[in-house]
Amino acid sequence: MEYSAKQLQIIEVAERLFSQKGFAGTSVRDIAQEADVNVSMISYYFGSKEKLIEALFEIRMSESRSRLETLVQSEDLNPIQKINMLIDNAIDRLMGNQCFHNIMLREQLSSERTPVISDHIRNLKLRNLELMQQLVREGQEAGVFRKNIDMSLMSTTLYGTINYAIATQEFYRKINDLENMEEEEFQKYLRKRLSQHLKSLFKSTVTNEHHIEN
Amino acid sequence: MEYSAKQLQIIEVAERLFSQKGFAGTSVRDIAQEADVNVSMISYYFGSKEKLIEALFEIRMSESRSRLETLVQSEDLNPIQKINMLIDNAIDRLMGNQCFHNIMLREQLSSERTPVISDHIRNLKLRNLELMQQLVREGQEAGVFRKNIDMSLMSTTLYGTINYAIATQEFYRKINDLENMEEEEFQKYLRKRLSQHLKSLFKSTVTNEHHIEN
Amino acid sequence: MEYSAKQLQIIEVAERLFSQKGFAGTSVRDIAQEADVNVSMISYYFGSKEKLIEALFEIRMSESRSRLETLVQSEDLNPIQKINMLIDNAIDRLMGNQCFHNIMLREQLSSERTPVISDHIRNLKLRNLELMQQLVREGQEAGVFRKNIDMSLMSTTLYGTINYAIATQEFYRKINDLENMEEEEFQKYLRKRLSQHLKSLFKSTVTNEHHIEN
Amino acid sequence: MEYSAKQLQIIEVAERLFSQKGFAGTSVRDIAQEADVNVSMISYYFGSKEKLIEALFEIRMSESRSRLETLVQSEDLNPIQKINMLIDNAIDRLMGNQCFHNIMLREQLSSERTPVISDHIRNLKLRNLELMQQLVREGQEAGVFRKNIDMSLMSTTLYGTINYAIATQEFYRKINDLENMEEEEFQKYLRKRLSQHLKSLFKSTVTNEHHIEN
DNA sequence: GATGAATGAGCATTCATTCAT
DNA sequence: CATGAATGAATGCTCATTCAT
């Protein structure tokens, strides 16, 4: 599916507004006005407000997927380095598309799911998990990772932490006295801290044999 | 503030619906219908839809806060045990009020914030963090915890992981072949796994001296 | 019909609010709140909002009527003095009950008339006119007033002028640089000016033989 | 501001209904139904019920103003003739737009004023008064009008009388046994009587030196 | 007699969508 | 292709009144 410049413009505005005010909280008039197009264009171009958000997922999910697949190609790294790459890839994807991942998280919080979107999300999550499990298996075979790692919970921690860090970044700024830092610099800083934090978490967990066994 | 049985009934229905469909996605008519009261009662009792959600926060937040404060009283535990208690307390609070914490997470995802609610959330988060930092300090003074622990990120991981686990529990069920498990049993199972997982994560992180130093 | 202190209190508040915001623009809740009584008391005491305004007319109209009848008793005055008394009586009644006469004027502007109220108004107006015509007849018989006086238009001028002066008193203050005058003093001032103005108008008109004859 | 045929249709219906039932007493549904348009068109065209009445004032006030300004051009008349023209102009404006002037009078009776409308009214009244005062000054300079004429009260009598005559025309019909007269003929008759009456009043007042001096 | 809870109709307005051009 | 007018359902809320006590 190809989208015209005007369609992409609408999608981008919609992404921002859905992120800020939620899907139900955003009217097509809001979108049309900010995208500087006629209201009827949204139904005209996409069929409905529902189809618009589906188009958004279509685009962003394929981007996410291709960025995920670049990970597979890196062959000459050791298991820990690969895990670290996966972590940075996740941080980049989520931090670099905060609006979209905000929408995606909301979608997962909702019980009014659209099949098309749910499928997208499930597929990406499956692929994510698959990749993580493969990396871990490699590490285990190389003897550097411990057995009995619940990768689905590690994955939950990875995405849960990043998502929650994004959601509460303002609070993080305040309590760490970073309120005067430039927005761009803060974003870089937060990425770095998240990267260190998550790498440390993962390293301790996948390598440490002395974990709790209850 | 005291609420009558009928008011509480409305609040509970609202909590479930806001959780399922979001605040903007839930109409007062939806709530009135499911709570089996006249539509105008919502304005009559709470003043407005907005005030209704504020009443919900008023109630749940004070509950959360008092449950949080019970932690302070446990004196005869060692630092690790205290951290573990804090983790279980968080799991209990979030897993035991999934609807409400779903709403709370959405609220944090939104940029259209209500001051009253934002204040509640900020205050609870501050108290949470305060408590965690105090526990960690005790562990550090006892010589069992390492220095340089970024508690705000550890807290992010704690709440981020639980919130995300709740949001994606259906997915977790599916990939772990737990689809036939009874709902209640699954909830218990998930709590236990989360508990183990987070305790393991925290223990490795707060005690392990070999963390990444970049 | 006798009214209790609480009922009178409600009626007085209603009078003020109907005057300020109109009948339809005033809710029974507004009235109840300002009168410091329970909302249901208005229906309880008067039957309905409609009946409340009828009660108001009942009271004020009988007051107006008795004040009007005092005129009849003044026997030892000449025709001009009697006319002047009638003018001052009208000014006193309207200026002294601005709220009520505001409501009464609105009622006459409306085509959604309540029979009870319409009857009150018509009866008072008839009695007013009757009295004026009687005074004029006396003057004509005494030879001091000219023939062919359209008393219904003179009456229209009398009440129209006072009503309009009341409605536009703020404007009158402004254009006559009286904005710093105390409210009470201004009321007295306006009454006096109106009295002079109307007496002058009436005297010129009822006595001057050189009026237009087209 | 230009208005489409449909907008004008709505405005005309609104004018009639506001006149009959007051602003608060008229619902947008009433207007929509009588104007035979969809309810939402009123918000669509005017933004709100409030803006609708503002649009009405915009239109009628500019009409009134231009009709008022035609007076200025009549040069070759004597002072009395000019005053008479001003009276007839006022009668024509008010009698020819009874609905609108009913609304305008109500607006002046209300203490819940809309700034936009208040400004319109004040400006027109100022212009009215200005013109009257100028005419009177000309008459005084020509030596035919007496000094010390309170034009603001004369103006009050002019507009008060016409407004009140319109408000009570039904009563006037009845007491003058004109109930069988055709509506159109009655309107012409009333205009003529008002014209005679007011011209007579004004002439006596502005020229008669024997006015009351208390 | 007096009250606060409760009702259901009605309010102005906004919604996503469709229609005529 | 693209648009602005138009639609009718739905929104949150207020209304005058009534009910149960």
Mean pLDDT calculated for residue range C85-103:
95
Residue B49 has pLDDT above 80, yes or no: yes
pLDDT tier, C150 (very low <50, low <70, confident <90, very high otherwise): confident
**Mutation for C interface: D19, D100, D109, D155, most C CBs within 10 A:** D109
Q: Provide the pLDDT for residue C208.
A: 60
pLDDT band at A190 (very low <50, low <70, confident <90, very high): very high
Q: How far apart are CA B190 and CA B91, in angstroms?
A: 10
Confidence band of D213 (pLDDT split at 50, 70, 90): very low
pLDDT in tens, A81-111: 888 999 999 999 999 999 999 999 999 999 9
Q: Are C55 and C46 in contact (CB under 8 A)?
A: yes
Share of chain C above pLDDT 90, in %: 68
- Using the structure, give the distance in angstroms from the CA atom of D31 to the C1' atom of E10, rounded to a whole number: 15
| Strand F at less than 7 A from CB of D214 | no
Q: What is the pLDDT of residue D71?
A: 79
Residue D82 has pLDDT above 50, yes or no: yes
Selected residue with higher pLDDT from C208 and A25? A25
DSSP string, chain A: ----HHHHHHHHHHHHHHHHH-STTS-HHHHHHHTTS-THHHHHHHSSHHHHHHHHHHHHHHHHHHHHHHHHH--SS-HHHHHHHHHHHHHHHHHHTHHHHHHHHHHHH-SS--HHHHHHHHHHHHHHHHHHHHHHHHHHHTT-S-S---HHHHHHHHHHHHHHHHHTHHHHHHHTT-TTS-HHHHHHHHHHHHHHHHHHHHHHHHH-TT----
- Can you give the pLDDT at residue B209? 53
Q: How many Å lie between the alpha carbon of A2 and the closest alpha carbon of chain B?
A: 30
Return the pLDDT at C95. 97
Nearest nt (C1') to B46 (CA)? F13
Chain D residue with the nearest C-alpha to that of C98 = D109
Determine the Cα–Cα distance for residues A113 and B171; give it in Å rounded to an integer: 14
Assign C138 a pLDDT band (cuts: 50, 70, 90). Answer: confident
Give the whole-angstrom CA distance, residue D42 versus residue D7: 8
| Bases along strand F below 7 A from a protein CB | 2-19
Are A22 and B23 inside 8 Å of each other by CB? Answer: yes
Stretch A130-151: mean pLDDT: 87
The more confident residue out of D50 and C70 is D50
Amino acid letter at A142? A
Paired tokens of B86: 């804090």
Q: Are the beta carbons of C161 and D156 separated by less than 8 Å?
A: yes
Q: What band does A1 get if pLDDT is binned at 50, 70 and 90?
A: low
Q: How confident is the model at residue A149 (pLDDT cuts 50, 70, 90)?
A: confident
Q: Tell whether D112 lies on the interface with C, counting CB pairs under 8 A.
A: yes
- Residue of A123, A151, A201 best to disrupt the B interface, most CBs of B under 10 A: A201
Q: Looking at the predicted structure, is the pLDDT value of residue B162 above 90? A: yes
Per-residue confidence (pLDDT) for residue A204, from 0 to 100: 84
Residues of A in contact with B109 (CB under 8 A): 19, 102, 105-106, 167
Are C85 and C64 spatial neighbours (Cβ–Cβ below 8 Å)? Answer: no
Examine the pLDDT at A208 and tell me if it is beyond 70: no
Predicted confidence band of residue A187 (pLDDT cuts 50, 70, 90):
very high
| Strand F reaches within 7 A of the C38 CB | no
Which pLDDT score, from 0 to 100, does residue D110 have? 95
pLDDT at D209: 53
- CA A105 – C1' E14 distance (Å)? 27
Distance of CA D62 to the CA centre of its chain: 12
pLDDT category of residue C207 using cuts at 50, 70 and 90: confident
**Which residue approaches E7 most closely, CA to C1'?**
B38
**Higher per-residue pLDDT: C74 or C154:** C154
Residues of A in contact with B211 (CB under 8 A): 200, 203-204
Whether residue D115 has pLDDT greater than 90: yes
pLDDT of D212 reads 43
C205 Cα distance to chain centroid: 22
D33 CA to E19 C1' distance (Å): 21
Query: Is residue C163 a contact partner of residue C156, using CB atoms and an 8 Å limit?
Result: no
CB contact under 8 A, C25 and D23: yes
Q: What is the pLDDT of residue C154?
A: 93
Q: How confident is the model at residue A148 (pLDDT cuts 50, 70, 90)?
A: confident
All residues of chain D having their beta carbon less than 8 Å from the beta carbon of residue C20 are 110-112
**Does residue D162 have a pLDDT over 60?**
yes
Task: Tell me how far apart the alpha carbons of residues D135 and D82 are, in angstroms, rounded to a whole number.
Answer: 7
Q: Which of B102, B204, B214 sits opposite A208 (nearest CB)?
A: B204
How much is the average pLDDT of C166-187? 95
Q: Which residues, including other chains, have CB under 8 Å from residue A88's CB and lie 6 or more apart?
A: A195
Residue with CA nearest C1' of nucleotide E15: A27
B28 touches strand E (CB under 7 A): no
Q: Answer whether D206's CB lies under 8 Å from D146's CB.
A: yes
Q: Is B102 on the interface with A (CB under 8 A)?
A: yes
Rounded to whole angstroms, the Cα distance separating B58 from B60 reads 6
- From the CA of D175 to the C1' of E21: give the distance in Å: 58
Interface mutation vs chain D, best among C197, C198, C202, most D CBs within 10 Å: C197
The residue-averaged pLDDT of D192-197 equals 95
Please identify among residues 138-167 of chain B the ones whose CB lies closer than 8 Å to any CB of chain A: 150, 152-154, 156-157, 159-165, 167
Of the pLDDT bands very low, low, confident and very high (cuts 50, 70, 90), residue A213 is: very low
What's the whole-number mean pLDDT along residues C151-160? 94
Pure H helices in chain C: 5-21, 28-35, 40-46, 49-73, 79-96, 98-109, 115-141, 151-167, 169-175, 183-207
In total, the C-beta contacts within 8 angstroms joining chain C to chain D are 157
User: Which chain D residues are within 8 Å of C161, Cβ to Cβ?
Assistant: 153, 156-157, 160-161
Work out the minimum CA distance from C190 to partner chain D, whole angstroms.
Answer: 10
pLDDT score for B208: 60
For C5-56, what is each residue's pLDDT tens digit? Answer: 889 999 999 999 999 999 999 999 999 999 999 999 999 999 999 999 999 9
Non-local (6+) Cβ contacts of D56 within 8 A are: D11, D14, D15, D18, D100, D103
User: Straight-line distance from CA D34 to C1' E7, in Å?
Assistant: 30
Of C131-145, D155-169, D171-185, the one with minimum mean pLDDT is: C131-145
Q: Which of B4, B103, B92, D164 is nearest to C153 (CA)?
A: D164
* D67 in contact with C, Cβ within 8 Å: no
